[in-house]
């Protein structure tokens, strides 16, 4: 039962991701792209132009993020990006859930 509720919460967060065309517009306008996956996941490749800051280190590394640009976040499927978005918005950043890695590389290339 608890596992089912956690999955529902994860799915709801993942569904807050922007459509690919909106992500593409933000990136064209100069949004900062951040990969919030784990270090192990990022070793398999990150999207062109992205900076890797895992969700687990995000709070202590916020000072590395620009406050004058939107921040597009991505992870494996969009769930962690949604959590990162909440964290950054609470700190005053303008953040967007770009979805998962596969979503982003369709926009940025490989």
Q: Which of 31, 53, 71, 75 is catalytic?
A: 75
Instruction: Indicate if 75 belongs to the active site.
Output: yes
Please identify which residue in the block is written with the tokens 């687990």. Answer: 56
Instruction: Report the C-alpha dihedral over residues 71, 72, 76, 78, rounded to 10 degrees.
Output: 100
Nearest partner of 74 among 45, 103, 41, 106, judged by Cα: 103
Task: Tell me the catalytic residues.
Answer: 75
């Amino acid at each position: 039962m608890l596992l089912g509720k956690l999955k529902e919460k994860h799915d709801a967060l993942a569904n807050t991701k922007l459509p690919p065309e909106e992500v593409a517009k933000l990136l064209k306008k100069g949004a900062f792209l951040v990969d919030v996956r784990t270090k192990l996941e990022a070793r398999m490749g990150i999207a062109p132009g992205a900076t890797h800051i895992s969700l687990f280190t995000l709070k202590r590394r916020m000072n590395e993020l620009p406050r004058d640009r939107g921040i597009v976040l991505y992870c494996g499927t969009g769930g962690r990006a949604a959590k990162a978005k909440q964290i950054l918005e609470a700190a005053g950043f303008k953040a967007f859930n770009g979805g998962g890695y596969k979503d982003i590389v369709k926009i940025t290339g490989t």
